[in-house]
Amino acid sequence: MAMEIDRRAFFASLGGVAAASLLSHEERAEALEHYMIEEIEQQDAPAQTQNDGGSIYRKPAKARGAGTVFRMDDLADMPDQPTLIDFFNSRFLTSHVIRSATRALDTGQPERTVFACLIHDVTQALVRSDHGWWGGQLFEPYVDERISWAVRYHQALRFFPDPSVGYEYPEMYNRIWGVDYEPDDYIKAAHKEALEHKWYMEARLVTMNDEYGFDRDIPVGPIDDFTDIIGRQFKQPKEGLGFDGSPTAHMWRTLINPNRSL
Ligand SMILES: [Fe+2]
Ligand SMILES: [Fe+2]
């Protein structure tokens, strides 16, 4: 199931080995995950290219933590009262999360987990740095609190094995970063916090399905396949996301129009 990573291309995407060495361990691990997600999106969506043939996902960005919508040239118009499905169709990168959610669904995991997997990385459209925290916050007003909690903590948990459920440290991290990789202190602290929390498994299950998000043998169906689950797990505001006055409405509005100058 492992996706092959072209090590040279990966470092080139960071600006070369020297530039990569300036990043912290956590930043490099984040960059790796994003690189993998972008790679798999490209493989799955060859039509999403610019007129010059270059991928819309590979434009160099000064701020690596900026979300993908800030680097897209041709953003589709969105309806006046956009739904979560509209964001899946027009703003989010979807292959990785749909694969993760499909795996959770096919293996009979709780619907809450399926939905958490479906949204666990979509905030990377808005911001990639610390995407677990941003993602948890983005969804918090609209979902069961265990779901936003799981999204928040998956970022930290993926670095820590849990033999009790068969989760191993991703081998790919060893190959890319070496065996001496050590997460930042705040990531370690978040892991410890999660371990002691009654909802630990909510986030752990997301990390377990996360790895299958890179498995190209899992077919990527349309988001419409998840319409019923979204309907039950997501409180869609009738005013439309971005216009409902929730504490995160501004984040949805920025996703709708990332080109607003102020
Ligand atoms: Fe993630
Ligand atoms: Fe992921």
Residue 36: pLDDT above 90?
Answer: no
Q: Tell me which residues have their CB within 5 A of the ion that is ligand 2.
A: 121, 210
Ligand nearest to the CA of 211: 2
Ligand nearest to the CA of 95: 2
Highest mean pLDDT among 18-27, 88-97, 173-182: 88-97
Residue 49: pLDDT above 50?
Answer: no
**Closest of 74, 111, 73, 67 to residue 92, by C-alpha:** 67
Whole-number Cα distances in Å, 196 to 134, 190, 191, 193, 214: 22, 10, 9, 5, 29
Whole-number Cα distances in Å, 129 to 26, 102, 120, 203: 10, 26, 14, 19
Distance 78 CA to ligand 1 centre (A): 25
Whole-number Cα distances in Å, 237 to 142, 234, 242, 244: 8, 9, 9, 6
Distance 255 CA to ligand 2 centre (A): 19
Percent of all residues in the chain with a pLDDT value above 70, rounded to a whole number: 86
Residue 50: pLDDT above 70?
Answer: no
pLDDT at 237: 98
Q: Tell me which residues have their CB within 5 A of the ion that is ligand 1.
A: 121
Ligand nearest to the CA of 213: 2
Q: Where are the domains of the chain?
A: 7-256
Q: Give the lowest-confidence range in 150-154, 175-179, 210-214, 249-253.
A: 175-179
pLDDT at 1: 45
Distance 98 CA to ligand 2 centre (A): 10
Indicate the average pLDDT of the chain. Answer: 87
Gyration radius of the chain over CA positions: 18
Distance 119 CA to ligand 1 centre (A): 10
CB atoms closer than 10 angstroms to residue 63: 10
pLDDT at 54: 47
- pLDDT digits over 190-243, tens only? 999 999 999 999 999 999 999 999 899 999 999 999 999 999 999 999 999 999
Taking the chain, what is the end-to-end CA distance rounded to the nearest angstrom? 44
Ligand nearest to the CA of 215: 2
Rounded Cα–Cα distance for residues 210 and 110 (Å): 15
More confident residue, 63 or 107: 107
